[in-house]
Structure 1
Amino acid sequence: MNVKTSPLISIITATYNSMKYFEDTKKSVLEGDVEDFEWIIVDDGSTDGTRKYLQEIDHPNIKLHFKSINAGIEDSYRTGIELATGKYLLILDHDDTIPLGSLSKRLDLLESNPNALAAFGAVAYMDESGRIYKESRFPFVSDDCVLSSLFTLFGIFILPVYPLKQGCVVLRSSFVKNNPGLYDIQLFLQAAKLGPVIFIKQACLNYRTFRTQFSSSRKMRLIRFFQFVWAKYAFKFLPWYISPFFAIYKTIPEFFKVLWSFVSSKRI
């Protein structure tokens, strides 16, 4: 009798009218270097043919979940996390791709470092056509290593811009499920606060950018500034004796990003 075991990793992708770039994402997952995975795709009420396209994909590792109404990306993530059965978890956006070799390396290092809650690497930024035009790296380290909690948090807050993206971080599923409601930056900061994390020097995500994307828009810059997001993160995740300094330090570049959004049409 064959006993079904849980996959090593659950990859979660939320789709919504995703036909334009999803083929690249699909190729990077299904032709990647990890075979023991489940890919949970949660469609958020697409109307552009994405649902029909997903239903026609024939692969045993894919699990589809269709929502009847558009309820937002965080609701899709929450659904995917609830459905996930893997030991590890990766949230991958519908228009991004996984660089070959980066996923297996993160998993191998997590398997050999049971105290680490997350493994991440650099982010390669690509334009609409898929051309890589820059790469962000974590400060002060240039080789694969295990980073302490305080060192990781210090590195994140010392840079004027956040050097990571959600899709470059592999997390332990148990940690994610024990921290419901946390996504993206906050989820990684919480992992770093609670324990060591693993860094690998290669790019772990090809992150697609658009000149019109909301995360770089003037409206979003204003929202972030007046909500004082990074100042709140400083007090939440950093030790009390340095949090006031970093709260001020992180607010200043956010102010200049707002100013820049009013004078430039380029990506920020």
Structure 2
Amino acid sequence: MAPRVSVVIPVHNGMPFLPEALESVLRDKPDDVEVIVRENGSTDGTLEWLRARSSDDFTLVVSDRLVSAAENWTAACEAATAPYVKLLCADDYVTEGGLGRQLAAAIENPDAVLVGSPRRVVDESGRVIMARRGLSRLGGPISGKRAQKKAAFSGANPFGEPSSVLFRADALKASLPFGDDFPYVTDLQMYVRVLEHGSFLGLRSVDAAFRLHNASWSQSIGSNQLRDFQGWARSLETSGVVVSNAFHRATTGLRFRTSFLARTVVSWLARTRGRATRP
């Protein structure tokens, strides 16, 4: 049976969370799901574990050299063969039935090039920090232009991390590669490019989990993250992808700083809870 959805998992030093990420896809995997893991120069036993675990359940692709995260994400997505693609980071996971719900919604809404769901936020031990986060005012079908504008002026990533979304493959591949000019918004940059090709569909179900831990990319809270959001938003205006008015220009800086503060609080909470659960 030809796959209807490809789940691609780009990984570099993915232990100890990779097994849970992979198992979350394989536990109720139907025949029409293709799973591809692209290993990128790990030194923590990831490759050895994958080779020992490798089976007919997934395809293992090993990079011949260490590349950037953006390059690894791009190569993983290029390997997908199905009409829909989910990019699952190795420290996150999909919730039970989440992949099927997003795929069914995408098939029922063929104009949607990006389907998103709220996500659960967990810490290193799997403890739930936030049971539901994301997609504020982004429920239901939304035009690509409106969704792009929401992304540009919210001061955060309103769609969530890659585990939270499902791409229509033709729109995703037409928008590759992932960029690394603004590393903290690599995923958001791609969402906005994909939305040039169609609409966004926001679901109510919590279909994925995002893990905050000391080594995670999004845990690196600092001035660089705020600067990336601001620089990327300015680049969208300069290129004409979005057009702002006086109100947006006057309030964008405040929204960015407010969202930055909220992320800092969530990050601090994750670290505090993580320390509390360690022996």
TM-score in terms of structure 1 length: 0.83
Of the candidates 116, 119, 125, which is equivalent to residue 123 of structure 1? 119
Q: Distance in 1 between matches of 2:155 and 2:167?
A: 25
**Is residue 217 of structure 2 the alignment partner of residue 221 of structure 1?**
no
> Structure 1 residues 94 and 157 mapped into 2: Cα distance closer, same or farther (>3 Å)?
same
**Is residue 228 of structure 2 the alignment partner of residue 232 of structure 1?**
no
Aligned twin of 1:250: 252
Counterpart contact for 1:127–1:210, Cα < 8 Å: yes
Counterpart contact for 1:44–1:76, Cα < 8 Å: yes
**Is residue 143 of structure 2 the alignment partner of residue 140 of structure 1?**
no
Q: 5+ residue gaps in structure 1?
A: none
**Is residue 94 of structure 2 the alignment partner of residue 90 of structure 1?**
no
Within 5 A, what are the aligned runs for 1:159-174?
A: 159-163=154-158, 164-174=160-170
Larger mean Cα displacement after TM superposition, 124-133 or 64-73: 64-73
Q: Amino acid of the residue matched to residue 31 of structure 1?
A: R
Sequence identity of aligned pairs in percent? 21
> Structure 1 residues 99 and 29 mapped into 2: Cα distance closer, same or farther (>3 Å)?
same
Q: Secondary structure at the match of 1:56?
A: helix
Q: Amino acid of the residue matched to residue 114 of structure 1?
A: P
Counterpart contact for 1:14–1:42, Cα < 8 Å: yes
**Is residue 60 of structure 2 the alignment partner of residue 57 of structure 1?**
no
Aligned twin of 2:171: 175
Counterpart contact for 2:117–2:204, Cα < 8 Å: yes
Aligned twin of 2:5: 9
> Structure 1 residues 55 and 260 mapped into 2: Cα distance closer, same or farther (>3 Å)?
closer
**Is residue 144 of structure 2 the alignment partner of residue 149 of structure 1?**
yes
1:217 shift after superposition: 2.5
1:59 shift after superposition: 3.0
1:29 shift after superposition: 0.9
Counterpart contact for 1:99–1:206, Cα < 8 Å: yes
Q: Secondary structure at the match of 1:117?
A: strand
Larger mean Cα displacement after TM superposition, 33-42 or 21-30: 33-42
- Residues 2-58 of structure 1, C-alpha deviations (whole Å, 9 max, x = no match): xxx531111111111212111111210101354411111111111221111101114
1:131 shift after superposition: 1.4
Give the superposed CA RMSD: 3.0
Counterpart contact for 1:8–1:86, Cα < 8 Å: yes
Aligned twin of 2:201: 198
Q: Amino acid of the residue matched to residue 112 of structure 1?
A: E
> Structure 1 residues 262 and 43 mapped into 2: Cα distance closer, same or farther (>3 Å)?
closer
Counterpart contact for 2:152–2:236, Cα < 8 Å: no
Aligned twin of 1:31: 27
1:120 shift after superposition: 0.8
Counterpart contact for 1:28–1:97, Cα < 8 Å: yes
Q: Amino acid of the residue matched to residue 192 of structure 1?
A: L
Q: Distance in 1 between matches of 2:43 and 2:110?
A: 43
1:246 shift after superposition: 3.5
- Residues 65-88 of structure 1, C-alpha deviations (whole Å, 9 max, x = no match): 112332121221122122211111
Q: Distance in 1 between matches of 2:267 and 2:103?
A: 39
